[in-house]
Amino acid sequence: MYQNKYSSLGALQLSHSTLNRYHLEDDDVLVYLHIPKTAGTSFVHILKQHFEENKIMQQPFMTLPKVDAESLAGYDLISGHFTYDILKFISRPHFIITMLRHPIDRVLSYYGFVREMPKNPVHEYANEFPFDQFIDLPHKAIRWHVYNQMTAMLSNITMWDEPPTEDDLQLAKQNLQEMAFVGMTEFFDESVRLLNYTFHWHDNASQIPRHNITRNRQQRAQVAPNVLERLAKYNQLDLELHQFAVGLFRQRYQQMVDELMIADQIYTHGYQQVVEQLQQANKHNKEQKRWFDIRFRQLEESTMDVEVPLQKFNLMQEQSTEDFVKNRIRLDEEDVLVFIHIPKTAGSSFIQVLQENFEHIANLPPISMIESQADLEALSGGSRILVGHVTNCIERYLPKKPLYITMLRHPVERTISAYYHTQRDEDNLFHQLACKQDLENFLKNQQVRNYYENLMARHIAADYPWQELSQHVDIIKQRIEQMPFVGITEYFEQSILLLHHRFGWQYHDHLPKLNIGNTPSRNQFPQHVIDAILEMNQVDLEIYHFAKQRFMLNYQQMLFDLFTTEHPSSATDAIIHALRIIYRQLVPLRARLFLRNLRTGNLSAG
């Protein structure tokens, strides 16, 4: 039997790069596993646009005993409510795709759907019994649709089999990873864009149809909490599978936007220049592999970010925009805000932003020079805003635990920047050494290595021996989660916008850029030097990616809040600036036309 045209991704951990692109050839088959009530009818309508009508097999429900290889042989698009087991009847090269939906919403939609469908075998039950009783009826079809149906369909189980198990869940996850495309009903428009990008189809996302939409569907808010809890218990496997799928989808979507940003930079800077940078990045960067870390300080994931620590930060119904707004920080009189200024993370510019929002800020010396509460009180002068190259150990000298904020930067870029800054700073302990030695030999010095190794993690977890930080990565991540704000140097502009939004400060459309030197990019260094930096910063690399995930999610939620919630006039500058970022990054030419027409009042042009 012919196997999938793409190899298995192996372990179930999400990798940094999971998006492949495909050109469907004449002998290829696209197989759509249509899970009920996941916007599949609308999705099929989109798929049909790319296939000849006589090459499409669409069945509302396929029972495998009635299906064989011969009956499927002549079709290029096969779509239906069948399970993964359908693949044993497909001998041609094939690509598998599906859509998933939050299981609670999917079951609610199913109930509303069968109430409207007189020919459905459970139509009478749905109209006779209220929802809370309907989901407990022993009817086999009801139980098939209500109990972990997504896990069952994606792991070869049919409605006549035993209920899915934990092993079936793991198989379903593996099957999802091996699929060419996984979409999310909650992100339908984004899913269509990713679908088109995956298969090199024309992006028709602005003309997305909506079919088979259930009218009068119950919303979660209309269902009693105890019923929702019961339904969640029935769908524990599907809930975990859904979260896994969201993470997979967001990674792929983010990679798509990354790659589109590269194309945009080619448009802006010229093809040859950017291609050379990409080739260098690909050649000299094993850690990123296909993720080309070009240091353009703009937000690639303007529309939506995708890397997500799902347990805490799920953009589905579990965490609403209202929660995000409600959780914005308001500093009380007794609160102390501490900016942990990690060297070479744009901290000087960041402090300038803080000074625009507070009259008195205490710029502290390194934590090694503070030995008591009296020292700190004398140095702070009573200020509640403390900044400096301090660590979390400063809380030893405060009456209550402060609110920490910080900025993080990719450890390779941070290390390179620190090296060149040391060459310029005559007061730096390693100045003479940096001037005499290249970066490779500079980092071989044991004293230098002891200072540079995992410096970001050491600032956040200074209460642990720095040699043992790899044993405490989860604790460091937890501390990052607890911080009200963690910015990313590569996205400084977006970080400042998020900072103001997070604390409810009025945004000033002015970004200082202080203490910036001419620093070569990583592409100018041989791979073994980059590897050496990565080897000594493994903990920093892990927490950087974790913090970036968190930042991107918060930034997306901020955008959603800005564009969907009424705001006072003080928020206008922030909204305008967010629009500038989006337009500048996604469609730079149209952005310039839009802003030009906005200034001239001619909005009909462009």
Query: Is 107 in contact with 87 (CB distance < 8 Å)?
Result: no
CATH fold, domain 326-410+452-565, is Rossmann fold (3.40.50)
pLDDT of residue 70: 79
Query: Is 411 in contact with 541 (CB distance < 8 Å)?
Result: yes
The pair of structure tokens assigned to 511 is 């970004």
What's the CA gap between 477 and 458, in Å, rounded? 12
Q: Which of 225-234, 245-254, 574-583 is modeled with the greatest confidence?
A: 225-234
- The more confidently predicted of residues 179 and 13 is 179
Query: What is the model's pTM?
Result: 0.48
Tens of pLDDT, residues 376-431: 989 988 899 999 999 999 999 998 899 999 999 999 999 999 999 999 999 899 99
pLDDT of residue 158: 72
- The more confidently predicted of residues 247 and 264 is 247
Confidence band for 217, pLDDT divided at 50, 70 and 90: low
Residues 61-76, buried b or exposed e (16+ Cβ, 10 A)? ebeeeebeeeebeebb
Query: Is 355 in contact with 369 (CB distance < 8 Å)?
Result: no
pLDDT of residue 223: 87
> Given its phi and psi angles, is residue 571 left (phi above 0), alpha (psi -120 to 50 degrees) or beta?
alpha
Query: Is 152 in contact with 168 (CB distance < 8 Å)?
Result: yes
CB within 8 Å of 1: residues ≥ 6 apart: 88, 91
Query: Is 163 in contact with 147 (CB distance < 8 Å)?
Result: yes
What's the CA gap between 257 and 236, in Å, rounded? 32
Average pLDDT over residues 16-34: 82
Query: Is 462 in contact with 528 (CB distance < 8 Å)?
Result: no
Tens of pLDDT, residues 106-152: 999 999 998 888 888 888 888 899 999 999 998 988 999 999 999 99
What's the CA gap between 293 and 261, in Å, rounded? 11
What's the CA gap between 475 and 601, in Å, rounded? 53
pLDDT of residue 315: 31
Q: How many helices (H) and strands (E) does the chain have?
A: 26, 10
Q: Which helix (H) or strand (E) holds 435?
A: helix 431-436
Average pLDDT over residues 69-81: 86
CB within 8 Å of 99: residues ≥ 6 apart: 34, 35, 38, 39, 40, 43, 182, 183, 184, 185, 191
What's the CA gap between 132 and 344, in Å, rounded? 57
> CA torsion 552→558→564→565, rounded to 10°?
170
DSSP letters for 469-509 = GGGGHHHHHHHHHHSSEEEEGGGHHHHHHHHHHHHTPPP-S
pLDDT of residue 366: 85
CB within 8 Å of 24: residues ≥ 6 apart: 30, 50, 76, 95, 199
Torsional sign, CA 360, 365, 367, 371: negative
pLDDT of residue 476: 94
Tens of pLDDT, residues 498-523: 998 888 887 766 666 555 556 677 76
Tokens 């019994």 — which residue?
Answer: 129
Tens of pLDDT, residues 276-320: 554 554 444 433 333 333 322 232 333 233 232 223 223 333 344
Confidence band for 578, pLDDT divided at 50, 70 and 90: low
Query: Is 190 in contact with 174 (CB distance < 8 Å)?
Result: no
Work out the number of other CB atoms within 10 angstroms of the CB of residue 91.
Answer: 13
How big is the chain by its Cα radius of gyration, in Å?
27
Domain boundaries, the chain: 29-254, 326-410+452-565, 578-606
Tell me the β-bridge partners of 485.
Answer: 405
What's the CA gap between 354 and 375, in Å, rounded? 23
Tens of pLDDT, residues 322-350: 444 445 778 888 889 999 999 999 989 99
Confidence band for 8, pLDDT divided at 50, 70 and 90: very low
DSSP letters for 496-550 = HHHHHHHHTPPP-S-----S------GGGS-HHHHHHHHHTTHHHHHHHHHHHHH
Torsional sign, CA 173, 176, 178, 184: negative
What's the CA gap between 14 and 476, in Å, rounded? 20
> What is the percent of the chain with per-residue pLDDT over 70, rounded to a whole number?
71
CB within 8 Å of 289: residues ≥ 6 apart: 16, 17, 282
Q: Which helix (H) or strand (E) holds 408?
A: strand 403-408
- The phi, psi pair for 241, rounded to 5°, reads -65, -40
Same fold across 29-254 and 326-410+452-565: yes
- CATH 3.40.50.300 for domain 29-254, yes or no, is yes
Pair type for strands 362-364 and 94-100: unpaired
Average pLDDT over residues 232-247: 94
DSSP letters for 110-148 = HHHHHHT-TTSTTHHHHHHS-HHHHTT---HHHHHHHSS
What's the CA gap between 402 and 395, in Å, rounded? 7
> Given its phi and psi angles, is residue 125 left (phi above 0), alpha (psi -120 to 50 degrees) or beta?
alpha
